[in-house]
Structure 1
Amino acid sequence: TEKRTQIFLKHSYKSTNSDTSVETLNSTRQGTGAVQMRIKNANSHHDRLSQSKSMILTDVGKVIEPISRHRRNHSQHVLKDVITPLEQLMVEKEGYLQKAKIADGGKKLRKNWSTSWIVLSSRKIEFYKESKQQALSNVKTGHKPESVDLCGAHIEWAKEKSSRKNVFQITTVSGNEFLLQSDIDFIILDWFHAIKNAIDRLPKDPSGSSRNLELFKIQRSSSTELLSHYDNDTKEQKPEHRKSLMFRLHHSASDTSDKNRVKSRLKKFITRRPSLKTLQEKGLIKDQIFGSHLHTVCERENSTVPRFVKQCIEAVEKRGLDVDGIYRVSGNLATIQKLRFIVNQEEKLNLDDSQWEDIHVVTGALKMFFRELPEPLFPYSFFERFVEAIKKQDYNTRIETIKSLVQKLPPPNRDTMKILFGHLTKIVAKASKNLMSTQSLGIVFGPTLLRAQDEMGNMAVHMVYQNQIAELMLSEYNKIFGSEED
């Protein structure tokens, strides 16, 4: 049997040409020694090798990997270019403050104070419910710190936003608003300066702050296309992939066309709309009473004292001089806002109406009017001069200096100041019943009527001077303003 097999192999080898190859596969079966052969020509062998082309090293050190048809999810994307710059942010300041978020995307929220561990970096603030070290050691899914991008943000003191002291507000370009507060003066001032300096160092154009995020979105949305382009040299795209890509390109071009059409229409609308001056001349737009400059309100009413101030003072003197805690006790805020709306709409106002029977609503609205003046009753340019006057050692010199400054004020400020302090002297005269002394009224009205334009100084010291100036003008009203008959 073995001889016959060798002869058969020789014969087969001679009968094949040089382009053929012989594959011998030994298959041992029980009781036999059969030899199986599979002869393949060169062409079929070449086809088999071509199917493994993707595993051949075309260049030294470069392996062409096969395309993955699997669409990667969010966690599988490479975020190196996006995360690395954020991780390299330097922590400039951290510590505990009281925080309240009052707006989210422009939508007002209910004010809810809570203690937060705040971390300030070069371009953002993070709010933790506990210290950062504790938060990192107790990581829980979904419990991430609230992050605020400071690029394009605005920071200012916000006394009127809360009854608490030392409150400032941060407003972001996305419409989020935060209140931060501490009872300790130097701590809150330090935080205010640190955040303001961080904002000032950042570009005013907030669009640059989202470049990395936009890059990440582009990488995420086009990752399949990028892989397809990378493999163009090794394998031609399938027809359905080409159709899908063409659909995306066509869809993108259609979106661009729609956006351009909308921009064109908006541009035409803006260029054709009437100017603000034209609308004001036609009476379609009017400045509101609350929040307008004092001289603007007086010019509109052709007076040196706003009509609303006179109405409030008359109502209080008519039925509120004996009320306990007048000007100190707050009225119902919703009713005060309703009164404010009526005044701004210039509707007929009757403070003797039953809906305004709570005199604290009237006094609350009057305080709100002065508090919302863009420039206080004591103009910013006079603030330092009044402070220097109250510092003088000689009491009579102090009075004469303040009297001289009052006479130099613009007529709307001087006349409104005279009628207001004259009214407050009548409140003091009834102090035995209403329990409102000169000191009490100085505390209530001092910071409202007199404040510095740049409030980044020592607020505690300013508050002392504000109260002292208001108290002196009450106690020495006749010497400073003259008697009411003058």
Structure 2
Amino acid sequence: MHKQPGLVLPGAVQMRIKNSQSNSGERLSQTKSMVLPDPETLQKPVSSINRHRRNQSQHNMEASVGLQPVLKEYINKAKIAEGGKKLRKNWTSTWVVLSSSQLLFYKESKQEAVANLKPSCRPDGVDLCGAAIGWTTEKSSRKNVVQITTPTGDEFLLQADHFPTICKWHDTLQKTVDSLSSRTGGQSYGRAALKKSNSTECLSRPICDPPKPKPKDSKSEHRRSIMFKLNYSASDSADKNGVKNRLKKFISRRPSMRTLQEKGIIKDRVFGCHILTLCEREKTTVPRFVKLCVKEVEKRGLEADGIYRVSGNLAVIQKLRFLVDEEEELDLGDSQWEDIHVITGALKMFFRELPEPLFPFRFFDLFVEAIKIKETTQKIQALKKLIHQFPKSNHNTMKLLFHHLRRVLTKSQQNLMSTQGISIVFGPTLMWPEFESGNMEVNMVYQHQIVEFILIECLEIFGPEGK
């Protein structure tokens, strides 16, 4: 009997069945249950399909949320309240993305996540529908701070050192909130997608639906009822009129500010007081504290290493500041002020905390233009003319200070201080612009140059010390 060669079928298990009564010899039969997938041929399509599904799901999710970015960049963010409960303020530099309806906070930008081969982390989202946007100076000591308050009681702070940057964010946020409000008439019926945990499915809900009420605490309800009774217990007109009359009498009888100052209840401050007001109060043209510090430094600190450059103990400096504000008489020769750097630190703090610097605001740009003059004699005359236009208290205080710093420089071999070192310390201490405009580093260079030139030409500008 002639045997036919076996046929080889890819991806299948072949079975031979011999039939002695059949003239067809051997035949091959295949069953579906015996077909096994080839891992090399089938694995790639499966993975590509799954990847396509994941990408499509991610694309659909982002489209449903409305993540078309309006603004995006790194700025400083702090969350200060959640659900009306205050949180500890913690500033972080965050990648912030503003979309048409949401504000999203990422730990890193998407470009960085791709570069580092990290999966994009789920951002924290803030619905802007019904939110309040405004500038704030009370919630942070930083400058250029914008506060965002949501209807659910969450509060966020955004801050940038560059004012135009944060101003752009403030205006765009306000326009986004106004657009959402006008589009929905106070109620938003737009749809947003919420990611389901551990799933790629999306749950949709109205953007501004109020959160589900939390179980009420019996104690908080009791306190609310008490506050309600207290707030509305004086609802009768007679009671209201009585309260108003008592308040009017109290206000009319309260003592004046001068009376409180004379009785010592309210004391005038030295640190943070305008130099004109301080000199008028002390009936002098140079603040008394400045004279005391200069005298003490010249008595025992001219040869101290790094005088005015080395920082003193801040706690002791604050103690000295408190005593200066509270007491009229002060002995800087006392043992508790033995460290001369405490006295120099307090003097620098006095000038830094002036509401208006020793170089008045209106002269800042004029001094910058004058220092740019190349010819030395013309430069001296220009600076001298500006300084002689100062108020008398500013002029006399500056004259005393610069003559004192000249004496410090006569001991430069002992204290290792130079005109450049002194100018670096006192440049930003004695002058700064009223508004932070332009390049800060450039302004700092001009501050150093102005103070250094006045130090070098002190006698030409101010004349002898006695006159």
State the TM-score, normalizing by the size of structure 2: 0.61
Structure 1 residue 372 and structure 2 residue 349: aligned?
no
Map of 2:204 onto structure 1: none
Contact 2:371 2:450 (C-alpha < 8 Å) held by counterparts: yes
CA spacing shift, 1:353–1:403, aligned 2, 3 Å: same
CA spacing shift, 1:256–1:101, aligned 2, 3 Å: closer
CA spacing shift, 1:221–1:144, aligned 2, 3 Å: closer
How far the C-alpha of 1:456 sits from its partner, in A, is 2.2
Structure 2 regions of 5+ residues with no counterpart?
1-62, 150-154, 189-206, 216-220
Cα root mean square deviation, aligned: 4.9
CA spacing shift, 1:300–1:324, aligned 2, 3 Å: same
Of the three residues 389, 397, 421, the one matched with 1:408 is 389
Q: Distance in 1 between matches of 2:271 and 2:79?
A: 21
Of the three residues 92, 106, 112, the one matched with 2:71 is 92
How far the C-alpha of 1:377 sits from its partner, in A, is 0.5
Structure 1 residue 259 and structure 2 residue 231: aligned?
yes
Q: For residues 309-328 of structure 1, what are the alpha-carbon distances to aligned partners after superposition, in whole Å with 9 as ceiling and x for unaligned? A: 11111111111111111111
Of the three residues 450, 456, 467, the one matched with 1:469 is 450
How far the C-alpha of 1:172 sits from its partner, in A, is 5.1
Q: Distance in 2 between matches of 1:346 and 1:445?
A: 27
Bigger Cα displacement from structure 2, 120-129 vs 464-473: 120-129
Q: For residues 217-270 of structure 1, what are the alpha-carbon distances to aligned partners after superposition, in whole Å with 9 as ceiling and x for unaligned? A: 9764499xxxxxxxxxxxxxxxxxxxxxxxxx9998875442245897997786
Q: For residues 100-138 of structure 1, what are the alpha-carbon distances to aligned partners after superposition, in whole Å with 9 as ceiling and x for unaligned? A: 989999x9989x997x33426499987655446749945
Residue 134 of structure 2 aligns to a residue in which SS? Answer: coil
Map of 2:15 onto structure 1: none
Matches within 5 A, 1:193-232: 193-199=164-170, 220-221=212-213
Contact 1:91 1:119 (C-alpha < 8 Å) held by counterparts: no
Q: Distance in 1 between matches of 2:374 and 2:411?
A: 30
Structure 1 residue 153 and structure 2 residue 135: aligned?
yes
Residue 151 of structure 1 aligns to a residue in which SS? Answer: strand
Map of 1:320 onto structure 2: 301
Q: Distance in 2 between matches of 1:465 and 1:328?
A: 19
Q: For residues 17-68 of structure 1, what are the alpha-carbon distances to aligned partners after superposition, in whole Å with 9 as ceiling and x for unaligned? A: xxxxxxxxxxxxxxxxxxxxxxxxxxxxxxxxxxxxxxxxxxxxxxxxxxxx
Map of 2:364 onto structure 1: 383
Q: Distance in 2 between matches of 1:150 and 1:172?
A: 8
Q: Distance in 1 between matches of 2:251 and 2:266?
A: 14
Contact 1:376 1:449 (C-alpha < 8 Å) held by counterparts: yes
Aligned length: 349
Of the three residues 267, 276, 286, the one matched with 1:305 is 286
State the TM-score, normalizing by the size of structure 1: 0.59
Structure 1 residue 281 and structure 2 residue 259: aligned?
yes
Residue 119 of structure 1 aligns to a residue in which SS? Answer: strand
Contact 2:305 2:416 (C-alpha < 8 Å) held by counterparts: yes
CA spacing shift, 1:94–1:400, aligned 2, 3 Å: same
Map of 2:201 onto structure 1: none
How far the C-alpha of 1:330 sits from its partner, in A, is 1.0
Residue 311 of structure 1 aligns to a residue in which SS? Answer: helix
Map of 2:344 onto structure 1: 363
Residue 374 of structure 1 aligns to a residue in which SS? Answer: coil
Larger helix fraction of residues:
1
Map of 1:20 onto structure 2: none
Matches within 5 A, 1:123-162: 129-131=107-109, 134=113, 137=119, 139=121, 151-154=133-136
Map of 2:412 onto structure 1: 431
Map of 1:117 onto structure 2: 94
Bigger Cα displacement from structure 2, 270-279 vs 312-321: 270-279
Contact 1:446 1:469 (C-alpha < 8 Å) held by counterparts: yes
CA spacing shift, 1:343–1:261, aligned 2, 3 Å: farther
Contact 2:144 2:159 (C-alpha < 8 Å) held by counterparts: yes
Structure 1 regions of 5+ residues with no counterpart?
1-83, 162-166, 181-187, 224-248
Identity of aligned residues (%): 43
Q: Distance in 2 between matches of 1:329 and 1:250?
A: 58
Map of 1:77 onto structure 2: none
Q: For residues 154-196 of structure 1, what are the alpha-carbon distances to aligned partners after superposition, in whole Å with 9 as ceiling and x for unaligned? A: 479x9xx9xxxxx95637599998886xxxxxxx54xx32113
Structure 1 residue 458 and structure 2 residue 433: aligned?
no
Contact 2:419 2:452 (C-alpha < 8 Å) held by counterparts: yes
Of the three residues 407, 411, 427, the one matched with 1:446 is 427
Q: Distance in 1 between matches of 2:393 and 2:413?
A: 33
CA spacing shift, 1:407–1:120, aligned 2, 3 Å: farther
Q: Distance in 2 between matches of 1:250 and 1:350?
A: 57
Residue 145 of structure 2 aligns to a residue in which SS? Answer: strand
How far the C-alpha of 1:392 sits from its partner, in A, is 1.3
Higher-Rg member (1/2): 1
Bigger Cα displacement from structure 2, 278-287 vs 412-421: 278-287
Code of the residue aligned with 1:119 in structure 2: it is V
CA spacing shift, 1:113–1:199, aligned 2, 3 Å: closer
Code of the residue aligned with 2:299 in structure 1: it is K
